């Protein structure tokens, strides 16, 4: 697997774990129509963030999250105990429906193979880049880019805010980062926002975020209705997206201006 990596010199690292749409043919044939539709993709996430800020390091994987979710704990411990969620190698979609043909779900050995083939290389590369940037600047800010449909009753009630900021309840980054990002989102016209609501940050945010040692991590989960159509064929809405990109660019720019 070839990861998509653009190396920059600034303190900012953008990670995009769920924008890939590649599924090996041997696995694709085991998925049911629901699985093959890949409806839980973070659609257009790379395009949405492309060119918003100069000189950031950007890492993404081409592999779809149905193969393996690189934003999950590799031991498959739930990030949200007691709440509906999906696993390291999902067998259900975000609405709770199965994505495999009956009897075709992966066993433990296969999950282990996928972990070594896809999950480990992504995090080896991410860790390497975080350490490189930290060594250069004395600190690093990992900004984890995500998006999700705004209404998914299996996962959460009602409609999701446009901006969902996750900092592991304030533990994964300096408080100035969370406060600054939340303030920009709150002031953005006609958008809604929340910090550490349904989404507090995935494994990436929780695993790498250690502000005491200069490793800051924040997750941004965007409601997809803010920049695209939330139904097949999942079209990118240029007008909506360009408006949203103004706010996203402001977020990234101000993060870099903070003295950490």
**What single DSSP character describes residue 171?**
T
For residue 16, what pLDDT is reported? 98
Percentage of the chain lying above the pLDDT 90 cut: 94
**What average pLDDT does range 156-165 have in this prediction?**
97
For residue 82, what pLDDT is reported? 76
User: HSE-up of 246 (CA within 13 Å, CB side)?
Assistant: 9
Domains and CATH numbers, the chain: 4-257 (3.40.630.40)
Nearest residue to 36 (alpha-carbon basis) of 24, 47, 48, 51: 24
- Exposed (0-12), middle (13-18) or buried (19+): which is 70, by Cβ within 10 Å? buried
> Using CA atoms, how far apart are residues 218 and 178, in angstroms rounded to an integer?
8
The token pair at 170 is 């304030």
> Using CA atoms, how far apart are residues 130 and 13, in angstroms rounded to an integer?
7
Pairing of strands 215-223, 140-148: parallel
For residue 260, what pLDDT is reported? 84
> Using CA atoms, how far apart are residues 189 and 146, in angstroms rounded to an integer?
21
The token pair at 8 is 């920059």
* pLDDT (tens digit per residue) in 161-194: 999 999 999 999 999 999 999 999 999 989 999 9
> Using CA atoms, how far apart are residues 249 and 258, in angstroms rounded to an integer?
15
| Average pLDDT of the chain, as a whole number | 97
Question: Which residue has tokens 């990670």?
Answer: 15
Percentage of the chain lying above the pLDDT 70 cut: 100
For residue 85, what pLDDT is reported? 85
* pLDDT (tens digit per residue) in 193-234: 999 999 999 999 999 999 999 999 999 999 999 999 999 999
For residue 164, what pLDDT is reported? 98
* pLDDT (tens digit per residue) in 52-101: 999 999 999 999 999 999 999 999 887 887 787 899 999 999 999 999 99
Q: By the 8 A CB rule, do 168 and 201 touch?
A: yes
Q: By the 8 A CB rule, do 162 and 228 touch?
A: no
The token pair at 30 is 């085991």
Nearest residue to 73 (alpha-carbon basis) of 123, 22, 18, 2: 123
3-state secondary structure at position 256: helix
């Amino acid at each position: 697997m070839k990861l998509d990596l653009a190396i920059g010199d600034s303190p900012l690292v953008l990670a995009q774990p769920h924008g890939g749409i590649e599924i090996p043919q041997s696995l694709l044939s085991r998925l049911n129509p629901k699985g093959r539709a890949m409806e839980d993709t973070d659609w257009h996430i790379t395009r949405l963030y492309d060119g918003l800020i100069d000189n950031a390091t950007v890492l993404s994987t081409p592999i779809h999250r149905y193969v393996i979710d690189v934003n999950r704990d590799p031991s498959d411990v739930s990030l949200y105990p007691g709440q509906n969620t999906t696993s390291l190698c999902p067998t259900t979609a975000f609405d709770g429906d199965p994505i495999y043909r009956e009897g075709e779900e992966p066993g433990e050995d296969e999950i282990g193979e996928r972990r070594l083939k896809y999950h480990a290389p992504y995090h080896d590369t991410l860790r390497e880049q975080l350490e490189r940037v930290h060594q250069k600047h004395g600190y690093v800010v990992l900004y984890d880019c995500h998006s999700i449909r705004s209404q998914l009753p299996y996962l959460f009630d009602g409609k999701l805010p446009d901006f969902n900021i996750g900092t592991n309840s304030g533990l994964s980054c300096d408080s100035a980062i969370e406060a600054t990002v939340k303030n920009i989102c709150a002031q953005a016209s006609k958008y809604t926002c929340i910090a550490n609501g349904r989404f507090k940050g995935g494994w990436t945010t929780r695993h790498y975020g250690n502000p005491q040692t200069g490793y800051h991590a924040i997750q941004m989960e965007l409601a997809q209705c803010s920049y695209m159509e939330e139904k097949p064929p999942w079209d990118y809405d240029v007008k909506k997206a360009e408006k949203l990109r103004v706010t996203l660019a402001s977020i990234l720019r101000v993060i870099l201006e903070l003295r950490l």
